[in-house]
Amino acid sequence: MKEFLLDNLVTIIGFLGVPLAYIFGGKRAKELELKSKETNIKKDDSDALKSMQEVYNGFLEDYKARMEEVMLEITSIKQHNKELQLQFNEINLLYHKEIEKSKNWEKKHNELQTAHDKLKKEFDKLKLSIK
């Protein structure tokens, strides 16, 4: 029996080693495969996060540029509003001065009308007294 074992030692080791190598090596291969899948998932997650960050950064740059445009437009509108307000104030002041002048002329007209009516009555009286 010893001789049989010694003669077939290589065959016996091969016969027993192959299943053991498959069992233990297969587990190791599965572990490596799982680690590889986890690494790929982490890499995919990292790539997705990087992609989202790039999109966000692009959006942020566009938003900042648009806000600068809006702020410049608001500044321009405020300046134009101030100019219009000054023009309005000036026109309003001139309008009130014209109203005051108009009232003054109306008052003078009424005074002259009253004086004219009075003189006309006196003239008519004088005319009647001369006849």
> In whole angstroms, what is the distance from residue 90 CA to residue 82 CA?
12
Encoding tokens for residue 129?
A: 């007294």
User: Is pTM beyond 0.85 here?
Assistant: no
Q: What count of other Cβ atoms lies within 10 Å of the Cβ of residue 12?
A: 13
pLDDT, tens only, 48-104: 888 899 999 999 999 999 999 999 999 999 999 999 999 999 999 999 999 999 999
> In whole angstroms, what is the distance from residue 45 CA to residue 54 CA?
14
Find out whether 41 and 35 touch, Cβ atoms under 8 Å: no
Every domain of the chain and the residues it spans: 2-130
| pLDDT for residue 130 is more than 90 | no
Q: What is the pLDDT of residue 48?
A: 81
